Amino acid sequence: MGHIIPFLELAKHLVTHHHFHVSFLVITTADSLATAKTNLLCFSDVPSGLHVIYLPPVDVSNLVANIPPGLTSLCIMIQHSLKLSLRPILLGLTRPIALIIDMFGIDAFEVCDELSIPVYSFFTSSMSFLAFSLYLPTLDRETEGEFVDLPGPVQVPGCRPIRTQDLLKQVHDRKSDDYKWFFLHMSSLPKVAGILTNSWKDLEPVPLLALKENPFFLNIPTPPIHPIGPLIKEDEPITESGKEILSWLDKQKPDSVLFVALGSGGTLSSKQLIELVFGLELSQQHFILVARKPDDTSAMGTIFSAGGKEDDPKTYLPEGFVKRMEGVGLVVPSWAPQVAVLRHASTGGFFSHCGWNSILESVVQGVPMITWPMYAEQKVNAAQLAEEVGVAVRPVVELGKEVVGREEIERVVRLVMEGEEGKILRQRAKELRDSARIALELGGSSFDSLAHVVEAWKLGHNAA
């Protein structure tokens, strides 16, 4: 869903603002088909010019039987789904002028080359991560051993250095299947006609300048970069449980509630969940905790089953916690209307897994963050938010420990919610909120960037 949501918003923009007919192709599994249909129909009003096509599920169970959920299984599923369905779907459409693919959709190249359809990529993460991804083939070629064993940080040309401990897990072991799949897809980025990014100049001026002007990226060569963000989910239907959450927020003071939500796929270990809830209790701050049953095997335990069965938090949270927190904290199972909660005047902080969608939703509402990266590129995002953008604080993890203690959680919660540093973070977030609004308005940088691509398509050209 972290990729589907911004793609759907882009599709809606192309229909409503630029008068295109858009066919939106959704890759599904047998388990996710019903959930995908429910989410797309419930979480967004689909305009009449937008046709949603669900690609039929492919059976890759024999190929991924012994592979844990993650990038390798995802790429195998996408590969086989596109090989089965993409050609007949494109042939059934009326002269497509472009295909916009996800960063893991490179299996569309062969078909589109044969049909003379230009391929663009919508990179649904940060421009900082895009710069790293484009630099990866050079880093791979020039490095002996593992990246995580390098004596210093990774220096992406023109960008903030990336500490080796912040590198995404998929590049830790260059002999692993995850690395090979990731490398394959990222090294194919220069083949697209252009890269749309869900960001804007004021949020990421340094990586944008590097991508457009640094000699390294000019010489790859890097395809034209088009920042068109922030494209986020503007509204979502409010369920009965959602109404109860918003009603509880209505009774709280402005900027007084910390929203704790770790994305559609994030799961904490049993030990970390205990430390988190006791840290929230020690902080004495009001909070909303979106709770999910712990998983001691994976930090992304629900990434392929978001929206599934909910477990009663009382069965896995410390005994008595929910009762003690009555009036102070609200514990809800699995899901909350995130956009509406972040938009609410009572929400003063966001304890986030640092998925790029969640980051944009928080910044657009002017809400500062506590970073809690779980998987994928989220550690890179967390460092960028705290050290470059200036809208977040990172908890300190003691050397050699994997669990962040309750005292550190108490510290960062108090810092954001009641400290002077929290006020500075909040002010910076509000500045970027205003900047985001201007970027998307007629004549704004992101509006014009997408309009430039659109005009090139209408003229039958690739956007430079």
Tally of CB atoms within 10 A around 199? 30
Instruction: Please tell me whether residue 220 adopts helix, strand or coil conformation.
Output: coil
Distance CA 71, CA 64 (A): 11
**Which residues have a Cβ under 8 Å from the Cβ of 51 and sit 6 or more positions away?**
21, 22, 23, 24
Query: What CATH superfamily classification does 240-436 receive?
Result: Glycogen Phosphorylase B; (3.40.50.2000)
pLDDT at 439: 98
51-80 burial, b at 16+ Cβ within 10 Å, e below that, comes to ebebbebbebeeebeeeebbbbbbbbbbbb
Distance CA 340, CA 235 (A): 7
- Look at phi and psi of residue 198 and say left if phi exceeds 0, alpha if psi is from -120 to 50, else beta: beta
Task: Please state at what angle helix 420-440 crosses helix 445-458, rounded to 10 degrees.
Answer: 30
pLDDT at 306: 47
How many residues belong to the chain? 464
pLDDT at 42: 53
Task: Please state at what angle helix 420-440 crosses helix 406-418, rounded to 10 degrees.
Answer: 60
Which uninterrupted H or E stretch holds 458?
A: helix 445-458
pLDDT at 264: 76
Distance CA 299, CA 242 (A): 25
Domain 4-233+438-458 indexed as CATH 3.40.47.10? no
Confirm whether 4-233+438-458 and 240-436 share one CATH topology.
yes
Peptide bond into 294 cis (omega under 30): no
Distance CA 101, CA 105 (A): 5
Rounded to two decimals, what is the model's pTM? 0.93
- Catalytic sites, residue numbers: 3, 102
What are the boundaries of each domain within the chain?
4-233+438-458, 240-436
The pLDDT tens digits along the chain (464 residues) read 889 999 999 999 999 999 999 999 999 877 655 555 555 555 457 889 999 999 999 999 889 888 887 899 999 999 999 999 999 999 999 989 999 999 999 999 999 999 999 999 999 999 999 999 999 999 999 999 999 999 999 999 999 999 999 999 999 999 999 999 999 999 999 999 999 999 999 999 999 999 999 999 999 999 999 999 999 998 788 899 999 999 999 999 999 999 999 987 778 999 999 999 999 999 999 999 999 999 888 655 444 444 445 679 999 999 999 999 999 999 999 899 999 999 999 999 999 999 999 999 999 999 999 999 999 999 999 999 999 999 999 999 887 788 999 999 999 999 999 989 999 999 999 999 999 999 999 999 999 999 999 999 999 888 77
Q: Which two tokens stand for residue 124?
A: 């649904």
Q: Which two tokens stand for residue 191?
A: 């083949």
CA separation, residue 78 to residues 51, 108, 109, 172, 250 (Å): 20, 10, 13, 23, 43
pLDDT at 275: 97
pLDDT at 234: 82
Q: Which two tokens stand for residue 90?
A: 């494109």
Tally of CB atoms within 10 A around 374? 22
Distance CA 187, CA 356 (A): 21
pLDDT at 302: 47
Which residue, 92, 93, 4, 85, is CA-closest to 41? 4
pLDDT at 402: 85
Instruction: For residue 365, count CB atoms less than 10 angstroms from its CB and return exposed for 0-12, middle for 13-18, buried for 19 or more.
Output: buried
